[in-house]
């Protein structure tokens, strides 16, 4: 059974992943705060993305551009004129909807055939009593909806102390434009030859008409974007370079999500139809994920052609070209843009990791995160918190491991509860310090200097010398097999 959004929202709050923003004031629509575990998970997603795409590839460099940019950027990019959604308003309750989404919502209906009883009818369906379809506002069921009007999704703000038209600017609705306007700076300063890419991670803001579904669609979110510049005159393996690189980036992006745990059956590609292509795109393919709300966009990979560089050259008066040494001519590069949302990626990783299973007659909730994503890598747990020598040793083990990884110490419950808590937040390994580790002088038992490691996924245990812990975790957290550790350091039979 796929996990529901309600289950994820409730787990996220209970275990410190994600809280509603400004909750003590009643919350603010579609804004979310990442708690102690959520911020670790989010940082891990961004870190591996940056490492895999920017640091490990010779053809990529990074950038961190300003969120507020010159207002003409948004005129040139087409966002002032085109970044709009059609919206309709209810004349009764004043709720606002995206015109193209109204029929995808469940709708409230006062049914004449049942003395005006109120029903909530699933999206797209007719009332089973009177056969009517939705004509009124889906939320209140009483008001008429206005004709669609275009609504610009950019957040406006003012630079400086005077709120006047001349000071008007915007919070960026995509990180991409920061890359385009820096194309020449980066190409010159880093002496880049085509093809090469510039990647950036950062906040973007959109005044979405219908945000919702937890962190799936929010007004403030983060993007991980790459603009990959190619020479449109080149061919690679018999294809125009832009089309070749578009295919490569689609395949690479799909493989990336699978490498970190998303199941192949929960991922699919969807080509944009001609009439839904963005104003700048020659072709766009979305990677969709089977979210708890159904198949929806996780990331888009667009061929933006030379649209953006040409527009910025036109509006700024600065040439944004590349000198093709071979052909001795200036060209305007084409751009392939793999663009992913950090928050959506996090939601997908969370949903895919979530599993419920029965263990010895009890429900176990476990997040099977890839070790690179897990917010906590190791939890160190003392078996008896009243034994000062056990607690001291556990703290020492934690301090040593924490030099390399995110490690927690917890002694606030019995060991069974502590294991379950770590399972529920996806910690791949627990270390338990017990009486055998430190010995028991009253009983004449000497210390064995070993601790128990428990594997989250198999729940198997191994008994490892404290001195070997760092080496063992280095191996395990880099993809080493648990079975090798379990056979090298067998646990005592219970
Ligand atoms: N530069 C291209 C661009 O911004 P997009 O399809 O509008 O393209 C790219 O956005 C990605 O950003 C989406 O695939 C999604 O993951 C994320 N995203 C877009 N709008 C979002 C929103 N309101 N809330 C959360 N994530 C969003």
The candidate with the shortest Cα–Cα distance to 224, out of 337, 308, 323, is 337
Burial of 30 (0-12, 13-18, 19+ CB in 10 A): buried
How close is the Cα of 486 to the center of ligand 1, in Å? 43
Q: What span, in angstroms and rounded, lies between the C-alpha atoms of 265 and 263?
A: 5
Q: Given a cut of 70, is residue 347 above it in pLDDT?
A: yes
Cis omega (within 30 of 0) for bond into 57: no
Would you say the CB of residue 223 lies under 6 angstroms from ligand 1? yes
Q: Which two tokens stand for residue 447?
A: 């210390």
Calculate what percentage of the chain has a pLDDT beyond 70. 100
Would you say the CB of residue 206 lies under 6 angstroms from ligand 1? yes
Answer yes or no: are the C-beta atoms of 387 and 436 closer than 8 Å: no
| Residue located nearest, by CA, to atom 25 of ligand 1 | 217
Q: Which two tokens stand for residue 322?
A: 């590349």
Which atom of ligand 1 is nearest the CA belonging to 175? 1
Q: SS3 for 79?
A: helix
How close is the Cα of 272 to the center of ligand 1, in Å? 15
Residue 427 has φ and ψ, to the nearest 5°, of -70, 120
Is the CA virtual torsion 406, 46, 172, 69 positive or negative?
positive
Return left, alpha or beta for 201; rule: phi > 0 is left, psi -120 to 50 is alpha, else beta: beta
Answer yes or no: are the C-beta atoms of 1 and 7 closer than 8 Å: no
Which atom of ligand 1 is nearest the CA belonging to 300? 14
Residue where the block lists tokens 């017990």: 434
Q: Which two tokens stand for residue 239?
A: 């294809």
Q: Residues with Cβ < 8 Å from 80, sequence gap 6 or more?
A: 74, 152, 154
CB atoms within 10 A of CB 21: 15
Would you say the CB of residue 299 lies under 6 angstroms from ligand 1? yes
Which atom of ligand 1 is nearest the CA belonging to 217? 24
Site to probe by mutation for ligand 1, drawn from 344, 345, 346 as the one with most ligand atoms within 8 Å of Cβ, is 344
How close is the Cα of 216 to the center of ligand 1, in Å? 10
Helix-then-strand count for the chain, H and E: 14, 27
**Angle (nearest 5°) at CA 121 between 120 and 124:** 145
Answer yes or no: are the C-beta atoms of 293 and 215 closer than 8 Å: no
How close is the Cα of 341 to the center of ligand 1, in Å? 6
Return left, alpha or beta for 8; rule: phi > 0 is left, psi -120 to 50 is alpha, else beta: alpha
Answer yes or no: are the C-beta atoms of 253 and 340 closer than 8 Å: yes
Answer yes or no: are the C-beta atoms of 277 and 267 closer than 8 Å: no
Report DSSP state, residue 127: P
Q: In the β-sheet with 84-89, what is the strand arrangement from edge to edge?
A: 96-98, 84-89, 149-152
Any alpha helices (H) in 78-192, and if so which ranges? 79-82, 176-180, 183-189
Length of the chain measured in residues = 494
Average pLDDT of every residue of the chain: 96
Strands (E), 242-384: 267-271, 283-291, 294-305, 322-324, 329-331, 334-341, 354-359, 362-367, 378-382
Q: What span, in angstroms and rounded, lies between the C-alpha atoms of 332 and 324?
A: 10
Least confident of 90-94, 158-162, 452-456: 158-162
- The model's pLDDT over 320-329, given as tens digits with 9 standing for 90+, comes to 999 999 999 9
Pairing of strands 60-63, 196-205: parallel
Residue where the block lists tokens 């089977």: 290
Would you say the CB of residue 308 lies under 6 angstroms from ligand 1? no
How confident is the model at residue 1, as a pLDDT? Answer: 72
How close is the Cα of 405 to the center of ligand 1, in Å? 31
What's the average model confidence in pLDDT over 265-280?
Answer: 94
Site to probe by mutation for ligand 1, drawn from 262, 341, 346 as the one with most ligand atoms within 8 Å of Cβ, is 341
Q: What span, in angstroms and rounded, lies between the C-alpha atoms of 122 and 107?
A: 7
Would you say the CB of residue 343 lies under 6 angstroms from ligand 1? yes
Q: What span, in angstroms and rounded, lies between the C-alpha atoms of 379 and 401?
A: 10
Q: What span, in angstroms and rounded, lies between the C-alpha atoms of 235 and 238?
A: 6
Site to probe by mutation for ligand 1, drawn from 154, 221, 305, 346 as the one with most ligand atoms within 8 Å of Cβ, is 221
How confident is the model at residue 282, as a pLDDT? Answer: 95
Residue 10 has φ and ψ, to the nearest 5°, of -70, -40
**494: confidence class by pLDDT, cuts 50, 70, 90:** low
Q: What span, in angstroms and rounded, lies between the C-alpha atoms of 172 and 154?
A: 7
CB atoms within 10 A of CB 341: 23
Would you say the CB of residue 297 lies under 6 angstroms from ligand 1? yes
Q: What span, in angstroms and rounded, lies between the C-alpha atoms of 135 and 159?
A: 44
Which atom of ligand 1 is nearest the CA belonging to 344? 16
- The model's pLDDT over 376-429, given as tens digits with 9 standing for 90+, comes to 999 999 999 999 999 999 999 999 999 999 999 999 999 999 999 999 999 999
How confident is the model at residue 165, as a pLDDT? Answer: 80
Q: Residues with Cβ < 8 Å from 76, sequence gap 6 or more?
A: 311, 312, 314, 315, 316
Q: What span, in angstroms and rounded, lies between the C-alpha atoms of 188 and 334?
A: 17
How confident is the model at residue 124, as a pLDDT? Answer: 92
Would you say the CB of residue 296 lies under 6 angstroms from ligand 1? no
Answer yes or no: are the C-beta atoms of 469 and 397 closer than 8 Å: yes
What's the average model confidence in pLDDT over 119-140?
Answer: 95
How close is the Cα of 475 to the center of ligand 1, in Å? 36
Would you say the CB of residue 398 lies under 6 angstroms from ligand 1? no
| Residue located nearest, by CA, to atom 20 of ligand 1 | 217
Would you say the CB of residue 200 lies under 6 angstroms from ligand 1? no
Pairing of strands 239-240, 235-236: antiparallel
Would you say the CB of residue 341 lies under 6 angstroms from ligand 1? yes
How close is the Cα of 381 to the center of ligand 1, in Å? 41
Q: SS3 for 482?
A: helix
How confident is the model at residue 46, as a pLDDT? Answer: 98
How close is the Cα of 315 to the center of ligand 1, in Å? 25
**205: confidence class by pLDDT, cuts 50, 70, 90:** very high
């Amino acid at each position: 059974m796929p996990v529901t959004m309600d289950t994820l929202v409730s787990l996220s709050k209970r275990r410190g992943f994600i809280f509603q923003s400004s909750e003590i004031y009643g919350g603010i629509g579609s804004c979310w705060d990442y708690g102690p575990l959520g911020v670790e998970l989010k940082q891990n997603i961004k870190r591996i993305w940056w490492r895999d795409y920017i640091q490990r590839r010779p053809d990529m460099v990074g950038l961190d551009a300003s969120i507020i940019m010159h207002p003409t950027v948004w005129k040139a990019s087409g966002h002032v004129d085109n970044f709009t959604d059609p919206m309709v308003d209810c004349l009764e309750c004043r709720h606002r909807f995206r015109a193209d989404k109204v029929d995808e919502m469940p709708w409230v209906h006062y049914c004449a055939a049942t003395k005006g009883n109120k029903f909530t009818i699933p999206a797209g369906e007719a009332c089973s009593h009177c056969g009517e379809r939705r004509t009124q506002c889906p939320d209140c069921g009483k008001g008429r909806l206005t004709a669609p009007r275009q609504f610009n999704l950019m957040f406006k703000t003012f630079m400086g102390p005077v709120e006047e038209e001349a000071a008007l600017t915007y919070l960026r609705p995509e990180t991409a434009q920061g890359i385009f306007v820096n194309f020449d700076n980066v190409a010159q300063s880093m002496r880049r030859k085509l093809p090469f890419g510039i990647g950036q991670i950062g906040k973007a803001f959109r005044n979405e008409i219908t945000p919702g579904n937890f962190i799936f669609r929010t007004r403030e979110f983060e993007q991980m974007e790459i603009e990959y510049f190619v020479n449109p005159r080149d061919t690679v393996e018999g294809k125009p370079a832009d089309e070749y690189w578009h295919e490569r980036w689609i395949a690479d992006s799909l493989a990336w999500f699978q490498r970190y745990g998303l199941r192949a059956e929960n991922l699919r590609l969807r080509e944009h139809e001609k009439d839904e292509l963005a104003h700048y795109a020659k072709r766009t393919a979305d990677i969709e994920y089977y979210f708890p709300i159904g198949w929806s966009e996780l990331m888009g990979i667009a061929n933006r052609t030379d649209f953006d560089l040409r527009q910025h050259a036109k509006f700024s008066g600065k040439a944004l070209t590349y000198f093709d040494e071979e052909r001795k001519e200036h060209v305007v590069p084409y751009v392939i843009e793999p663009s992913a949302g950090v928050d959506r990626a996090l939601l997908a990783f969370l949903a895919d990791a979530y599993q419920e299973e029965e263990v010895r007659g009890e429900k176990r909730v476990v997040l099977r995160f890839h070790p690179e994503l897990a917010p906590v890598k190791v939890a160190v747990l003392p078996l008896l918190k009243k034994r000062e020598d056990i607690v001291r040793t556990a703290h020492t083990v934690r301090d040593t491991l924490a030099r390399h990884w995110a490690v927690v110490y917890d002694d606030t419950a019995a060991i069974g509860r502590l294991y379950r808590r770590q399972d529920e937040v996806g910690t791949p390994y627990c270390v338990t310090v017990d009486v055998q580790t430190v010995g028991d002088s009253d009983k004449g038992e000497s210390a064995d200097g070993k601790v128990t490691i428990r594997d989250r996924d198999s729940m198997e245990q191994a008994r490892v010398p404290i001195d070997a812990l760092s080496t063992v975790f280095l191996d395990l957290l880099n993809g080493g097999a648990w079975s090798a550790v379990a056979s090298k350091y067998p646990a005592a039979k219970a």
